[in-house]
Homo-oligomer: A and B are copies of this chain.
Amino acid sequence: MEFLENLRSGDSRFLARALSAVVERAPGAAGLLRAIYPATGHALVVGLTGPPGSGKSTLVDGLARAYRLRGETLGVVAVDPTSPFTGGAILGDRIRMQAHHADPGIFIRSLATRGALGGLAQAASDVVAVLDAAGKDRILVETVGVGQDEVDIIQLADVTVVVLVPGMGDEVQAIKAGLMEIADVFVINKCDRGPEKLEQEIKAMLALAPSGAEADAWGPPVVKTVATQGEGIEGLTTVIAERVAWIEAHGGLARHRARQWQQRLRQFARDRLAQRLLDPWLTEERVERLAESIATHGTDPYTAVDALIQQALETSLQ
């Protein structure tokens, strides 16, 4: 297939166009994604998530450098509104992005978290598929692990790294609790601030986890880094490699990914259903009229939306 050949040629302009097509859901994007899917599965996807201010971007940057030095080609997908690759970039911080700009072996794509109606997880999934089909050896996905959307995104990763920092206060406890179940690896970044208390907390939480029952279960290790100094990055790549080796030894990547797909499939199907059936029907004018009627109590939102869905269904099947 000529398209796939172009995609794998290393021509980053072609890759950029293909990514824009899938993100903007251009006509033909669905066919493109279908066509490239058999060529996916080569890349190892590493997700990094954590609260704002935990230094994820710097860590992603450090990991990218480390993998590039080993000759791996890389895709970076940034879906973190607090990342300099995305939101930060809007505000002028393009420094790190520029540092990689001259390197054709690394391709960075950011995704805006706002305005991607219900489709951010799918957009991220599609972008990863294209980068994978383009032959990238490794794909780093950066997201801020707070909302449900963001947790959905990180489920496309083969290995999930949760990044925390010391001294973020008690409120971060709850975030940790929410991220605990998806973490394969914990990073304590900025650990020059004294990581002991946080490390103890993480280990205490892990000790409570039910998965510890199996004798050879994976226990998420805690890696200490100072990403701004490059400290601990090598250790992190080692732990990620160990996690991949563990997966290979316990059923293999394909089975691991099948389990991930079980988690993702419902949202994936929801998004596609809405795109196909509802979005074409929900014109500006129709939405405006309905909103008016609901706000003035001419109808209730449940009756109004059910009628709308019924109409959309009947129209789509005519």
Which residues of A are in contact with B by a Cβ distance under 8 Å? 30, 33-34, 37-38, 41, 51-53, 81-83, 86-88, 90-91, 93, 113-114, 116-118, 120, 125, 144, 146-151, 168-175, 177-178, 254-255, 257-262, 265-270, 272-274, 276-279, 282, 287-288, 290-292, 294-297, 300-303, 305-306, 308-309, 312-313, 316-317
Distance, CA A215 to CA B87, complexed state (A): 30
> 8 interchain pairs (CB within 8 A)?
A30-B302, A38-B300, A52-B52, A83-B171, A117-B266, A147-B148, A258-B296, A277-B313
Q: Would B303 and A34 count as touching, CB distance under 8 A?
A: yes
Q: Would B291 and A261 count as touching, CB distance under 8 A?
A: yes
Q: Would B296 and A282 count as touching, CB distance under 8 A?
A: no
Q: Would A37 and B87 count as touching, CB distance under 8 A?
A: no
Q: Would A33 and B300 count as touching, CB distance under 8 A?
A: yes
**A209 shortest CB reach to chain B, Å:** 15
Which of B41, B175, B259 sits near A52, CB closer than 8 Å? B175
Q: Would A90 and B177 count as touching, CB distance under 8 A?
A: yes
Distance, CA A146 to CA B178, complexed state (A): 15
Known: A38-B300, A269-B274, A313-B316. 11 other contacts (CB 8 A): A34-B303, A53-B171, A87-B175, A90-B177, A118-B270, A147-B148, A265-B294, A265-B301, A270-B270, A272-B306, A274-B274
Contact (A171, B278) CB under 8 Å given A262-B288, A291-B262? no
**A277 shortest CB reach to chain B, Å:** 7
